[in-house]
Structure 1
Amino acid sequence: AGASAAGDADADADAGGPPEPPPTPPPVPRKKRRSLHRITSLIRIHDLGIDGSAVPPKDDRDFDDDGVAAAAAAAVPRCKRPDLLHLACPDGAAAVIEALVKVGLKCITDEGPMWTPVRDTERILSKRVPAPEPGEWNRAEGFSEVLVWQGKFDHGGYGCDLPVVKARGNVTAPARKLLDLLLDSGRVKEYNKMSLGRKDEYYFQEGVEDRDAGFRGVAKIVRGSVKPPIIRK
Structure 2
Amino acid sequence: MLVEIEASIDGTSSYNILFDESKSRNSTCQSRRKSSIKTQRTNCYIRAQDLRLTDENLNLYKSEHALVSLDGSGLVAVISGLVTIGLKEATDESNRWCATSSTDKILTKRHKDMKNGVRVNEGAIGSWENAASGKDVLIWSSKCTRPGHGSDYPVVKARGLIPASASEVVDLLRDSSQVVKYNKMSIGRVDQFILTQQGTTSVHSLQKCPQLGVVGEVKIMSSKSQPPLVRKPLEFKTLFYARLLDKSDDVEFDKVAYITVGRSVWETPEGTTDGKDSSTTRCEILLSVNLVRQVTTDCGTQCCELTNITHAVSPGVPMFLGKQMGLMAAENYIKDIRAMFEKQP
**TM bracket, shorter-chain basis:** 0.5 to 0.7
Which position in structure 2 is the counterpart of 1:166? 157
TM-score by length of 1: 0.60
Q: Which has the higher strand share?
A: 2
Q: Distance in 1 between matches of 2:92 and 2:158?
A: 12
Distance of 1:83 and 1:51 partners within structure 2: 12
Letter in 1 for 2:108: S
Q: What are the superposed Cα offsets for residues 163-210 of structure 1, whole Å, 9 maximum, x if unpaired?
A: 322111111212222111011233234444455654545544364526
Note the 1:1-233 alignment, pairs <5 A.
38=39, 40-51=43-54, 55-57=58-60, 78-81=61-64, 83-89=66-72, 91-128=73-110, 129-130=113-114, 137-142=129-134, 144-193=135-184, 195=186, 197-200=188-191, 202-205=193-196, 207=198, 209=202, 211=209, 212-222=211-221, 225=225, 227=227
The 8 Å contact of residues 94 and 215 in structure 1, kept in 2 or not, is answered as yes
2:49–2:147 Cα contact (<8 Å) kept: no
Deviates more, 1:160-169 or 1:98-107: 160-169
Q: Residues 8-62 of structure 1, C-alpha deviation per residue, up to 9 Å, x if partnerless?
A: xxxxxxxxxxxxxxxxxxxxxxxxxxxxx845321111111014686223xxxxx
Pick closer, same or farther for the CA change 1:220–1:183 going to 2, 3 Å. Answer: same
Q: 1-side partners of 2:174 and 2:191: how far apart?
A: 10
Deviations for 1:33-92, whole angstroms, at most 9, x for unmatched residues?
Answer: xxxx845321111111014686223xxxxxxxxxxxxxxxxxxxx334482211111x11
Residues 146 and 154 of structure 1, relative CA distance in 2, 3 Å threshold? same
Number of paired residues? 169
CA RMSD after TM alignment: 3.0
SS in 1 for 2:214: coil
Structure 1 CA distance, aligned partners of 2:93 and 2:189?
A: 29
Q: 1:124 to 1:194 in 2, by over 3 A?
A: farther
Output the amino acid matched with 1:155: R
Shift of 1:101: 0.6
Q: Which has the higher contact order (CA 8 A, sep 6+)?
A: 2
- State whether residues 51 and 78 of structure 2, in contact with CA within 8 Å, keep that contact through their aligned partners in structure 1: yes
Q: 1:155 Cα deviation (Å)?
A: 2.1
Identity %: 37
More helix by share: 1
Structure with greater Cα Rg = 1
Helix, strand or coil: the match of 2:162?
coil
Alpha-carbon distance between aligned partners in 2 of 1:112 and 1:228, rounded to the nearest angstrom: 34
Cα contact 2:141–2:154 (8 A) shared by 1: yes
Aligned partners of 1:201, 1:52: CA distance in 2, in Å? 28
